[in-house]
A and B are shown apart, each in its own frame.
Chain A
């Protein structure tokens, strides 16, 4: 059951729902591009409590979910090498590659270690100079400064046994790819608050201009998400398309300049494959040439590995908002968090896993009670 009093300020939540209901006059589709927002929306039943006119589409906002299969296979190949300590954020360990996942490599004797911070991986490299230590550097703009600092410090400390497998992706090119797609139904976007806390909001104004769609920078807590949705709806109903910041307690226009400077120093923009979506031009970061010695793909010669996706998995359509997770035939059958076919079922921030955890039953059988 979904109760309004599950919000940490039920009165404010009720007011926001009421305002949205009062404002909306016709159907709108709003996409969130942040896995944390997706999780909040499904967990709190926000999509079910909203008026029927509002459809929420869960975009490619989970870095674990969009990391391409070929990159997972590279990680698996490197992690299985003797002498390698492979360090990763915990979310990546159950992401299925073509034939196995990192947990399987670990159970087969690979030295795979979960780290909280990329600096933990640098420390492991310092403590194990006779071993090759590789860090799986995934993430959006929020995570890139941390991963860049790991490379910077490894260079500064003269570590020759440390390298990174880089699979960084960027939000604005993904929004552009979705908004510019001929099949897109998206009328407005919630931009990811923490991405913007690093990058600022300045990158999103040009997207608003180019596509004529409102973008509201939004936090990930339930009330933040509601407020972001309310602001998008107000703009749409008034025929406006503007950039707004609904997360001003954390996000400003410029973002975190020292973090951006470090990212600029270590990373260069590159084309990236997005799992389930395909290649998006200039949608990621790779190591700059001067840091090429820290590139695990070159060090372990896995640059050419590529792999086709599962034929059953429809995560690409989920990530682009073309179907809901429970419309996939494999959902809850062949595919579950224990036996995921695609990455959207793996990470708790993935749309399929969120649906599975909170809404495995048919949506119509979920009781909605407003108190």
Chain B
């Protein structure tokens, strides 16, 4: 949860006075709060942390960073897309098995 992932703003709407956006992270779309970046627009890249856009970033840097997330396989983790895996872990936590982690 500590990282922040760059994404591209796809669309913007108001939700009861709060500016919200759909942001695409390498194709994965999430609803993101824009309250802290009031001046960004559709097509801009922004760094997103736990559902909030916190700073702008240029496209080139954004794409490089996304590439890194792809390579280390961390994008789904950071976007909490791994809840199924988390549920599996819950079962294992209750009944620990001795499987070794991948090296």
Contacts and interface: CB of A to CB of B under 8 A. Distances in A.
A194 interface: yes
Mostly, the B contact residues are: mixed
B27 interface: no
B1 A63 contact: yes
A145 B86 contact: no
A115 interface: yes
Nearest to A115: B80
B71 A119 contact: no
B80 A146 contact: no
A35 B2 contact: yes
B1 to A, nearest CB: 4
B92 to A, nearest CB: 7
Nearest to A193: B4
Contacts of A91: 1
Contacts of A101: 93
Contact of A221 (B65, B77, B82): B65
Contacts of A62: 2
A8 B86 contact: no
A32 B93 CA distance: 31
Interface in B24-74: 30, 33, 35-38, 47, 49-52, 54-55, 57-58, 61, 64-65, 67-68, 71-72
A149 B33 contact: yes
Contact of A103 (B37, B83, B90): B90
A15 interface: no
Interface residues of A, number: 58
Contacts of A140: 2
A338 B2 contact: no
Interface of B: 1-4, 16-18, 30, 33, 35-38, 47, 49-52, 54-55, 57-58, 61, 64-65, 67-68, 71-72, 77, 79-80, 82-83, 86, 89-94, 96-97, 101, 103
24 contacts: A43-B72, A63-B1, A64-B1, A90-B80, A94-B93, A106-B90, A107-B94, A114-B86, A116-B30, A143-B50, A146-B49, A156-B16, A194-B2, A221-B64, A221-B65, A249-B57, A251-B55, A258-B36, A259-B52, A259-B54, A262-B35, A338-B96, A338-B97, A349-B2
Interface of A: 8, 34-36, 43, 61-64, 89-91, 93-94, 101, 103-104, 106-107, 114-120, 139-140, 142-143, 145-146, 149, 153, 156-157, 194, 197-198, 220-222, 249-251, 256, 258-259, 262, 337-339, 347-349, 356-357, 360
